[in-house]
Chains A and B, each alone.
Chain A
Amino acid sequence: MSVGLDIIDSWRVKQERLKFNFDKAHAVLIDSNMLSHEVMAGILGGFGFRQLHRFANIGHSQDFLKSSPVELVFVDPYRYGEAGLDFIRWARTEPSYARSPIIVVTGHAFLRAVTEARDAGADYVIAKPYSPSVLLERLIWVAEQDGRKIGATDDPMAHEIAGVAA
């Protein structure tokens, strides 16, 4: 077995032992499509999130973030044109959100779109269609990073992202 596969295997064994409790974590979902909202909220509810704040309007979500503690943000920025990526850039300039996880969930899987989102400050880009297991794996990976880290790590998932962005 290659070294890369060994790393992935050990990561998976570690995840099997992991226990988490997100019931007090506040998460914001920003997407203009209600169907996407419903499904994402259903999945996150299953993962134990009880404090879900849903926004179709990106300006309203910004107002909310300015006044409320939020530990995690999911956004599809491409629904909002340049304002979507501007939102991520804005969050990164806010001291409270400089290191908070921002996960982009989008049907825009073009390499350029992925790179743009990451350059704006997103921690992770998940391409639609996704499955609950993929969403959970990425969520755990992001949570395990102690805040936002830029650059390569020894984590197999990080190498996976590097492969996408190359």
Chain B
Amino acid sequence: MTSPQRALSEFLNRSNGMSMDEALDRAALHLESMRSKIERGLDDNVAAIGALLQDKSIDLRAQAQTLYGLADGILSVAAMFQRKALGDIALSLCDLLQVFEKGNFGKMAPCACTTMQCGWCMLSPI
């Protein structure tokens, strides 16, 4: 180790720092600047899912794992870029693959959010 790492708390309460609102505004700007790249990535993932489903040379387990990876990538970003329907499909696909993979029919963990602003809440209105 080149130098000991610092506690993350040392980066809080800095007079030269930014507030949570400023940080969120800057994050929104960053994401907006990436919009075209991310949308291309989303389209690529959707196309890759289509190609995967037609490829009969891959065994089912490998196919399921790849499918999960692609759907999870879509799930990560779709709601942030107003692709709610796509995010919803990806979420369902991930859930379905997990159920089959784990044989786990237990209940889903609820959203850990109290702000009602997260993508999960947006996709699962109560």
Contact = CB atoms under 8 A, between A and B. Distances in A.
Q: Do A and B come from one complex?
A: yes
B115 A134 contact: yes
Interface string A105-138: 0111111111000000000011111111110110
Contacts of B122: 129, 131
B43 to A, nearest CB: 11
B118 interface: yes
29 contacts: A16-B20, A19-B12, A19-B15, A19-B17, A19-B18, A33-B70, A33-B76, A35-B41, A35-B73, A36-B77, A71-B5, A72-B8, A106-B72, A107-B76, A107-B94, A109-B108, A112-B106, A129-B78, A129-B118, A131-B79, A131-B117, A132-B24, A132-B27, A134-B118, A134-B119, A142-B8, A146-B7, A161-B112, A164-B109
A83 interface: no
B80 interface: yes
Contacts of B20: 15-16, 18, 136-137, 140
Closest 7 CB pairs of A and B: A46-B27, A129-B119, A19-B17, A33-B73, A69-B5, A21-B17, A35-B73
Contact of A46 (B30, B38, B75): B30
